[in-house]
Amino acid sequence: MTTVLDISRVSKRFGDNLANDDISLSLKEGEIIALLGENGAGKTTLMSILFGHYVPDTGRIVIHGRELPPGRPREAIRAGVGMVHQHFSLAPNLTVIENIMTGTQKLWALRSSTNAARTKLLSISDRFGLKVDPDERLGDLSVGEQQRVELLKALFNDARILILDEPTAVLTNIEAERLFSTLKEMARQGLSVIFISHKLDEVMAAADRIVVLRGGRMVAERLQSETSKAELAELMVGHRVSRPVREPSTPGAVVLKGVGITSRVGGVDRLKSINFQLSEGEVLGIIGVSGNGQAPLAALLSGVLSRTAGDLILFGKNVGNLDVADVVAADIGRIPEDRNKEGAIGEMAIWENVVLERLPAFSRAGMVDRKAGMTFAREIIDAFDVRGGAPRSRTRLLSGGNMQKLILGRNLQQRPRILIAAQPARGLDEGAVAAVHARILEARRQGTAVLLISEDLDEVIALADRIQAIVDGRLSPPVDAGDVDARRLGLMMAGDWSETPTETRHAP
């Protein structure tokens, strides 16, 4: 197999943080490499250097025998490198073909080149099985379809080396399986692929070779056929990893109850007469395929969405529509699904983000107490192992997983009475997932009522006491977590509630 890429002795430092430390690796034609590591291990930094977003402090990159000029993405694209970022760089108001052509054609040439571009796009689409409608508006596509457009854009630019940063972070299991099937077909046709991941199942299923980074250094390299998930997990974090176990408990008083709640967004009912109740010291799991009403439910309980019908009973009192101030005053913690848009403000310092929702508690005479805020931030950084930042650091400099740990710590360091946790372990490595799950179970033991919204069957089964499925804005009757397995939950997510012990047995 021909070597198409050589990364030689690359190092990169951001202030005091050594993100990459003397890393070397090669990639062969038709090979799929998984770049595995904890959050903040240096995976995205290394690939950003390859694509020209960052200039390395030391080292060189050679593609097809030619050294790549550092810090020049256009040169990387010309050399055949395509990168699909974790957060898509697409315009939702443009069509698929317009997104594909933007940045690849001169503005005054777009109209005259559209027919040729359409022909090329459809040819690539057929070749790799990436079916799209060139005239579909991007904002009307699912997340999986949008990722398909990102792949097509890279292939449209004649990429021969594809880099994918956490490609399944926002995909359902079915979409992820389709993606890796496509990547294997690409490899069979001679493309080379590096995908960044922390998910051991997908790494073992898709990669030919696995490179493990830890603390900015390359600590291991394994053929997929010669390793195991247990070994990889230990290589990632430097010690054996085990998930916490939920202990039996007796829930306390009901603290939150919804009766017949309906909520409308854009003239459409997104929540349809749902019923639920949550007690002290209990985890209620809400499981469902993305887009079935999880986001409106979290928004409603976080004070950013109103209901149009039904009753919400909080601590025994029938309340009106909550706003964010009501939620904070009621000591309800929130872990939003989208940490970048809703969980933190990237340009603000870490200490500013951790006190933002509770400014009165960190203020004196109308002035923010910076010292108290930075002390609180340091407590969270230490207790939740937030790596890559200090209290004064810009939050955007954190990796996605470390930003998630910061948000979790902000909510759990001062124990809330209720925690709304939407996808709390999304984007986290194996060690961080175990730590987050342990924190949630500890909050449960201390009496916090946790509403867990997740698309991960294993996560819900591991953490929840009771489980409800959400389908097309409707909630199934609750089932005891001890009475279900992944098969039954899968049926519930598909709308089959025939095994539930109530009158309502099928989602409309």
Query: Hey, which of 80-94, 163-177, 180-194, 426-440 has the most confident mean pLDDT?
Result: 180-194
**Residue type at position 205:** A
The pLDDT value recorded for residue 500 is 60
E-state strands within 38-77: 58-63, 66-67
Q: What is the per-residue pLDDT for 342?
A: 81
Cα angle value 228/173/124 (rounded, 5°): 100
Q: Which pLDDT score is estimated for 109?
A: 53
Burial class of residue 363 in the structure, from the number of CB atoms within 10 Å of its CB (0-12 exposed, 13-18 middle, 19+ buried): middle
- Which pLDDT score, from 0 to 100, does residue 503 have? 38
Give the Å distances, CA to CA, from 427 to 168, 230, 351, 383: 9, 19, 22, 19
Residue of 82, 470, 438 lying closest to 243 (CA atoms):
438
For residue 301, is pLDDT > 90? yes
Going by CATH, does the domain composed of 246-331+416-508 fall within 3.20.20.140?
no
DSSP 416-445: -SEEEEESTTTT--HHHHHHHHHHHHHHHH
Distance in angstroms (rounded) separating the CA atoms of residues 89 and 75? 19
d(CA 394, CA 499): 50
What pLDDT is stored for residue 483 in this prediction? 85
Per-residue model confidence (pLDDT) at position 508: 37
Indicate left, alpha or beta for 218 from its phi (over 0: left) and psi (-120 to 50: alpha).
beta
CB atoms within 10 A of CB 508: 9
Is there a contact between 444 and 437 (Cβ–Cβ < 8 Å)? no
Residue range 197-215: average pLDDT? Answer: 90
| Residue 55 CB-half CA count within 13 A | 5
DSSP 329-373: HTTEEEE-S-IIIII--TTSBHHHHHHGGGGGGGEETTEE-HHHH
Residue with tokens 């020049």: 72
Least confident residue range of 136-145, 224-233, 368-377? 136-145
What percentage of residues in the chain have a pLDDT greater than 70? 94
Q: Which helix (H) or strand (E) holds 380?
A: helix 370-383
Architecture of the domain made up of 3-237: 3-Layer(aba) Sandwich (3.40)
Which single residue is written with the structure tokens 């017949």?
Answer: 260
**Angle formed by the axes of helices 110-128 and 143-156, nearest 10°:** 110
d(C-alpha 57, C-alpha 324), whole Å: 45
Buried b / exposed e along 273-291 (16+ C-beta atoms within 10 A): ebbbbbbbbbbbbbbbbbe
**Interaxial angle between packed helices 110-128 and 173-188, expressed in degrees from 0 to 180 and rounded to the nearest 10:** 90
- Most confident listed range (297-301, 354-358, 427-431): 297-301
Most confident of 246-255, 277-286, 298-307: 277-286
Band of residue 242 on the pLDDT scale cut at 50, 70, 90? confident
CA 447 to chain centre: 28
Task: Collect all residues with Cβ–Cβ distance below 8 Å to 29 and sequence separation of at least 6.
Answer: 1, 2, 3, 4, 190, 192
Look at residues 273, 258, 339 and name the one whose alpha carbon lies nearest to residue 86.
339
Q: Is the pLDDT of residue 409 over 50?
A: yes
Per-residue confidence band for 128, with pLDDT thresholds at 50, 70 and 90: confident
Give the mean model confidence (pLDDT) for residues 30-41.
Answer: 89
Q: Is 101 helix (H, G, I), strand (E, B) or coil?
A: helix
Question: 475 vs 319, 322, 483, CA distance in Å?
Answer: 21, 21, 18
Q: Give Rg (Cα) of the chain.
A: 24
32 with 64: CB under 8 angstroms? no
Domain 3-237 and domain 246-331+416-508, same fold? Reply is: yes
Q: Strand locations in 178-281, DSSP E?
A: 192-197, 209-214, 217-223, 254-265, 268-279
Binned at pLDDT 50, 70 and 90, residue 385 comes out as confident
Angstrom distance (rounded) from CA 106 to CA 344: 36
Q: What angle do CA 241, 242, 244 make, to 5 degrees?
A: 140
Q: What residue segments make up the domains of the chain, in order of their start? A: 3-237, 246-331+416-508
Mean pLDDT of the chain: 87
- pTM here is 0.69
Looking at residue 443, what is its pLDDT? 93
pLDDT tens-digit profile of 246-276?
888 899 999 999 999 999 888 889 999 999 9
- Beta strands 449-454 and 283-287, pairing class: parallel
Whether 11 and 23 have beta carbons less than 8 Å apart is answered as yes
Three-state SS for 451-479 is: EEEECCHHHHHHHCCEEEEEECCEECCCE
484 has pLDDT over 70: yes
Indicate the helix (H) or strand (E) that contains 20. Answer: strand 17-28
